[in-house]
Each structure stands twice: as structure tokens, then as C-alpha cells.
Chain A
Amino acid sequence: MERLDLLLLAIEALDLHGSEAMVWSCQQLELKESFPDRVALWKSRCRNPLRRASRRGELSLGERQGLIELACMLSERLYPMLRQLLSSNEPEELNRQRWGLFRDRYNELVRERMNGRRGAIRQLLDPEQGEELRRDMVLTLAFCAGPGGVQRLEASLLDGSR
């Protein structure tokens, strides 16, 4: 759940209207049963124990699947931006600025919503480790965009469970 919520947070950092896009995508994906409104979506995301105001308990299967589908659909929508960030053919200075903008917005969201005393959050906000972790997240989103992304992300989130 931690990783899934942090991926959704990365989507919000990449897209200024990310939270609105999530609500809209829930309707598109017919996830009304799991997330009838934005409050229900917010409550599900608050199952992340790294959050400042986290809720106890596990996600239901429907909620978990819904959040995975949501992350993949939004990744597909943001794919051109993700591609720009990962491409080595983009102008270096421009890409550095793009990564800087993403870092600032992501860190701001992390500070606002996450519990800064948790080790994982301290790593995310660490200048050196955070850079690598943010790149991993953008890479994950880019590879989860598209038709095969849902199965891929679903399998990845269950790593180590076998």
C-alpha cells in the first residue's frame, strides 16, 4: 500500500490537476463501487501507514485493484511527460529543470501528507537517496502505462509474497 500511494502521489506531483484526474478516472474505469466519491478514494489512500493521518486496516481487494488500475490509467495519460523525463535525447538543462520541478512538488506533497518521522519518508526527502527513489518511481510509472501495466504493477506489489 505504501508504494502504491507514493506512486499516486508522484502522479499528483507530475500533474497539477492530478487529484481531479483521479476522480474523473474513477468514473471512466467504472470504479464507483469502490470509490463512489473523492472522500472514499482519500480514505482508501489513507490506509498507507506512512501517512500523517493514516487509517488502520487493510485495503479490500476491490479497493486495491481499483487503485492499481487508477495508477496505470493515469500513467498512460502522463506517458509523454514520463517519457520526456526518462529520455537521454532531451536537452540536458531542460530535463534538469523538469526533474527539479518534479522534486520540489513531490517533496512538498510528501511533507504535507506523510509522517516525517518514518524512515522511508526521511529517505524520500534525503537529497541523495530521494533522487534515486523518485527516478525508480517515474520508471515504474512509465513501464506500467499501457495495456500490460495493470498486471505488471499488480505482480510487482506482491513481490516477496510467494
Chain B
Amino acid sequence: MTNFSSLAAAAGLSGTQYRLRYEQSSCRLELTGLPDVTAAAEEGAPKQRLDILTNWDLILGQRANLQGKREHLEALVQAVIPYVRLLVSAQPRPLSDSKSVVTLEPSGERHHLVLRSSQPNTPPLELLLDDAELADLNQCLDQMLVDTRMGLNLAVQPPQPLRRGEYRRHTLQRRGQWLPPAIAVGALAMSSLLISLVPLPQRSPVPQLQESSTESTTKSEEQAKP
């Protein structure tokens, strides 16, 4: 759900300030900002557009209330969207390094979200989100990214198929499929080994006595010849 409201009158601001709101059950994202009046209007662009972000708020139920600037929002989007992309392929793993402003990594059946403040001596905020809370956060960010009234041009890479090296075959298709060929090769190897152990049949030796008798007869025959 999104709301768009002009706060100029309410806030007593000299310029027009806009607010965009994206809501789900456990998550609410609010962007507050100004239109860029100096920019030339693009064809087909909405008349009211939030081009300059002054502040954003992320309310995760009763657990946390986050605020930040544009770079923090960009870091949040760049941490959550690619991580969710991996979850769709059932390959959860951390993507960003531990020094990033926002990191998201699997932690048991939950997801460990760490937000580091840019202010010194402020400890990082750590949250454990369950699948439903992460799905809500993802929905809010998705809605924000496709909203034509949001003109922040946040840098987000479109989802890409995983390469062979980084992709563990999907469990449904491949799990256990190596087993039958492995059993077949193993059985073949075992049977060859057993066959090689069986002694080869020996030729029965010609009885020596018979040979010697024939030899003696031939000798006597030879002797008898004139």
C-alpha cells in the first residue's frame, strides 16, 4: 500500500515536501523528500515525484525504528534484494562483506540483519528476521523500486541466473541422483575384483608314465630299424 501526500501545509515548509509510504504487516517504509524542480520533466513522468530524499524511516513492527539518508537506503536495498534472489534459488549465503553498512546473512532458520551507524561510538543494530518479516521487507522495497513517483534512481542490479560454479543444484532435481550410478559402478568394481580372485582353471597335466612308455616304445622301434 502506498500513500503520497504533500506535507507542505502541515509542516509549514517553504517548498513542497512529499512522503511516500509502503506498508506490509510487519514493516513500513516511508520516504520523505522533495521534487527536483530544476530537472527537465521527462515524458510520461508523474507530475509529483520525489527526486531528492531528505529522510527515510523503516519501522519493523515494534522491534526497530530505523532512519537514514540516501546512502543508507541504497545499502539496505543492495543487501536485501540480492539476498532474497538467492533465497528464491534456495541458496542462502551472505553476499556483502562484514564492513558494509548493511549486511544480511542466514542464521539458522532466521536472517541476521546488521545495520552499522555512520556516527562514531554507536554500536551496530542487529536484528533477527524470520522468513515472513524478510518477505515483508522485500515487498516494501520492491514496491518502492517500481514506483514511478520515486525518482531516486537507486542502483540495483537486475536479478541474474546463478553461474554453474556458484549454484548448488536444486535439491528437488538433483538430490540423491548420484546414488544409483555410484551403486552401479561400485557393484561393477566389486564383481571384477571377485572375478579376478577366482583361480584360472589349470590344464590337467599329461600323465608322465604314459609319455615315458611311448618314448621307450619309439626308441625301441628306432633301435629295431635296420
A-B contact count (CB 8 A): 114
Whether A156 lies near B85 (C-beta < 8 A) is yes
Q: Count how many chain A residues have C-beta atoms less than 8 Å from C-beta atoms of the other chain.
A: 42
Whole-angstrom distance from the CB of B98 to the nearest CB of chain A? 24
Q: Count how many chain B residues have C-beta atoms less than 8 Å from C-beta atoms of the other chain.
A: 37
Whether A143 lies near B84 (C-beta < 8 A) is yes
Whether B85 lies near A86 (C-beta < 8 A) is no
Secondary structure call for the A interface: helix
**Contact A129 B131, CB 8 Å, known A146-B143, A148-B145, A160-B167:** no
CB-nearest residue of chain B relative to A132? Answer: B171
Contacting residue for A143 out of B88, B143, B146, B169, CB 8 A: B88
Whether B136 lies near A152 (C-beta < 8 A) is no
Residues of A within 8 A of B177 (CB): 119
**Contact A155 B161, CB 8 Å, known A136-B90, A146-B143, A147-B145:** yes
* B contact set with A: CB distance below 8 Å: 25, 81, 84-85, 87-90, 110, 130-133, 135-136, 138-139, 142-143, 145-146, 158-164, 167, 169-173, 175-177
* 18 A-B pairs whose Cβ atoms sit less than 8 Å apart in the complex: A2-B172, A3-B172, A120-B172, A136-B90, A140-B88, A143-B87, A143-B88, A146-B139, A148-B142, A149-B142, A155-B85, A155-B158, A157-B161, A159-B161, A159-B170, A160-B162, A160-B167, A161-B161
User: Closest 10 A-B residue pairs measured CB to CB?
Assistant: A158-B161, A87-B132, A155-B159, A86-B131, A148-B142, A147-B146, A88-B130, A86-B132, A142-B135, A156-B88
* A contact set with B: CB distance below 8 Å: 2-3, 6, 79-80, 82-84, 86-89, 119-120, 123-124, 129, 132-133, 136, 139-140, 142-149, 151-162
